[in-house]
Chain A
Amino acid sequence: MINCEFDRRRFLQWTGASVFAAMSAQLSGEALAQAAAASPLPARTPILVLVTLYGGNDGLNTVVPYTDPRYRSLRSNIALDHTQVVPIGNSLGFNSSMPLVAQLYHRRKVAIVQGVSYPNPNLSHFSSMAIWQTASLTGESSGWIGRWLDRQAHSPFSAIGVGSTLPPAFIGERSVASMVDVGGIQLPWGPVSEILPRLGSHSPTDVALESAAATSISDLYSVARSVGPHLPKSPSGSWISQQLEVVASCINANVPTRVWEVNLSSFDTHTGEQGDQNALLSDVDTAIGNFMTKISAGDRSGDVTLMVYSEFGRRVASNASDGTDHGTAAPVLLIGNRVKGGLYGEMPSLKHLDENGNLRVTTDFRSVYGGLLHDVLGTPVADIIPDWKKTLSVH
């Protein structure tokens, strides 16, 4: 249990997943093109891309301790054997659904931070994700990237979420990140299209939500008016591939954005885990592989760091339904051409589990954030996470 009472109302908000999304600007391709032309991101400015895996990705079947007899005996129905992993040394192997990431690892472009979570994990999807996104152990706070945004000169381009909902991590005390969407847009047609753009303007009598509703109308028009030349015309592949294709295109076009977020759901594998997780990891792997190929071919090859994380790992012992229940620590992957690849932190013991049969946490996630804040975003960690000093650097 976490020490502080997790505020009930805040909890309700997290179940809603995306707070204040419409307060943020929906950026059009045109706006992004103009920004890239008018104030391109200076060369060699580092960029962070967050890849959020919702649902609790099973870390033990991602970076697999496949030679550990305890691994095989505790989860005999879902354990991966040596034919189902790509070995990376130290008795570990990547799930063989991730050949491209494994290849990047062998080229030393992937840092695996082992055993990452927060103190006394409480196994709830919603409060765990709140803690990760706020970098506060009560989950009652603004988002950690949002607080970084609060300290930047105001620009709608500094941080951008891809999709139609904004992650809570991107909502600060005073600033909210922007969004871009992957899909195509069909503008309203017919005579009413004379009226609709007028309904998208603000009225002094609007309450905040009416303003947000009006913005949703004007956003549609501004997004649709033009798709900038650097936005992919028809992103292909899985949902995560499409999102990362948008990000890669924008990065290569020097859009002045320091932090991006993409995400994928359905990692809550209580049953039939192997097939489901392998398929999801394969999508993630293809998306990251393609992304790194695109980035490496562009001008910002060394500037980009991806962080792949989930709200928790899963129970060491599988259940009888070939799945796993909610757990604790899991590896975080940091990927980039200037990342110093390899293993970081300590692999949690499969022998000395906690009282619930979960992995003991060996690395506090705030240290990972600390390293990224320092190395990528150029901000002292204590400015963003009060009273936290540790930084785990992979650069």
Chain B
Amino acid sequence: MSLTTSYQERLAIARLLHRFNFGPTPGQYADLVRHGLDATRATVLQHGVADPGIDSVKPLVLADLGPFPDGSAAKSNQFWNRIQKDSSDLIMWWLDRMVAARHPLTERMTWFWHGHWATSISSVTYPLTMKKQNSTLRSHALGNFMAMAKEMVVDGALNIWLNNNENYIAAPNENLAREFMELMTIGVNHYSQLDVAAAALALTGYSTVQSNGTVTLNRKEHFSVPVGILGKTAVYDAESLAELVVSRKDNVQFITDRMWFRFVSGTSAPPPTLAESFAGRDIASLVEALVHSPAWTDPANALVKSPVEWFVGACRALKVRPSSLDHDATQWLLSQMGQLPFNPPNVGGWTYGEAWLNGVAFQYRFQLAQNIVAKGDLSPLDVQPLNMVQACADWLGIPQWSRRTANALTLALATPSELALGAILSPEYMVSA
């Protein structure tokens, strides 16, 4: 450990890298420890600039596969194989971007929003439609939440997932209307059932082409009679509904809380002033306020890395492109750990915290770690054996090994691959303490 850097500063720098940037690339942590916390803040916040890492990931072009085939079994097999392949390509493409990004904040925020607007390919079926949603989330990832909400309420994948394709005036389907208010914008108990029913009417007449996510409004099928929602009577459509709901004060605290919860602490509440940074619904200013929060030196604010965050972090450190691993095995192991991108368990999004840590999941974590290390660049461990364990901490962005882990890793000094494997499976690396 550098003599001039306090443990607290090493801790804060490690947290910022792991939580906002998917963890350090080789050498980056030691570098930022030398440059200090302010430099780290500036680094993790960088976005919207050219990113040669992202550019190195081959763009993924998916075709519109059209309606489900009816007819021969051969045709049907061909169709479902293609869905399967495109879906696999989509997952690997996104994981590659997270790993390759030189300025990962945009991908990290897109990942956050994917959990927020949690939509699963399980019922959307078409990878192209999921990819379209993913692009929408990315384009607004650090933009304005109002603009994001207006586009998401008419997102094809979300409309399929929450049954808005079957929302008719005669018998409205409330699924999208309710979850839009409860889980995505203002939170439960900030609206009534009458608001939900009226909001469902506001969302009638939108129909989605499932195979490509195109949403169109058919005015004849749209409820165009004034209706009261949250105390305001008007003729609503999806856009004016989003405008109304996101304008509510409740939205400011709701989004602030969710970000705090996922990035800072699962147990404490955000400081009361934090929400001010989101008053204009500007996501980047809330992220900036979080990054500049004094919370990072508070030992209480530990979080468990979700399986994807852990996996992407390890791949970044070991310079492994996920797509260079066995695609099927990687996806199966991530899903066994409970987190395959584009497959959240329900509209409430991913679980969190200790739920990711159980003995059952650890066996799959081990197998993933082994696959990463087998392809990994271990050169950061090319140092004198005496310095190897500390070099490993600096490499992976660990503020300090516990005696337990340091002692265990010392047993592997003769075999760097075993040392690396032990390190990414250590409690210190599973958790962003």
Which residues from chain A sit less than 8 Å from chain B, CB to CB?
A: 1-2, 5-6, 8-9, 11-23, 26, 122-127, 164-165, 179, 181, 183, 185-188, 190-192, 194-196, 198-199, 201-223, 265, 268, 270-271, 317-321, 323, 325-326, 355-356
Contact = CB atoms under 8 A, between A and B. Distances in A.
A321 B427 contact: no
Nearest to B166: A321
**Residue with the greatest number of chain A CB neighbours at <10 A, chosen from B170, B189, B258, B407:** B189
Nearest to B419: A195
A326 B428 contact: no
Nearest to B405: A199
**Residue with the greatest number of chain A CB neighbours at <10 A, chosen from B167, B357, B409, B411:** B357
Given A203-B405, A213-B427, A219-B362, A22 B348 contact: no
Interface residues of B, number: 75
A179 B358 contact: yes
Given A9-B269, A201-B404, A321 B163 contact: yes
Nearest to A182: B360
Nearest to A75: B171
Contacts of A124: 178, 182, 188
B175 interface: yes
Given A185-B363, A325-B175, A213 B304 contact: yes
Contact of A323 (B170, B173, B197, B361): B173
B431 to A, nearest CB: 5
Contact of B188 (A6, A219, A265, A317): A6
Contact of B254 (A8, A265, A326): A8
B380 interface: no
A188 B187 contact: no
Given A164-B338, A196-B366, A207-B431, 4 more contacts: A126-B183, A209-B357, A210-B428, A215-B359
Contacts, number: 235
14 contacts: A2-B189, A11-B187, A17-B355, A164-B360, A165-B355, A185-B363, A192-B421, A198-B411, A203-B427, A205-B400, A209-B431, A216-B361, A220-B360, A270-B175
B183 A199 contact: no
Given A181-B360, A216-B361, A122 B366 contact: no
B117 to A, nearest CB: 13
Given A15-B183, A217-B359, A270-B173, A22 B354 contact: yes
A164 B173 CA distance: 33
A320 B171 contact: yes
B394 to A, nearest CB: 18
Nearest to A214: B427
Contacts of B400: 205
B384 interface: no
A228 to B, nearest CB: 16
B418 A191 contact: yes
Contact of B427 (A183, A187, A204, A211): A211
B408 A8 contact: no
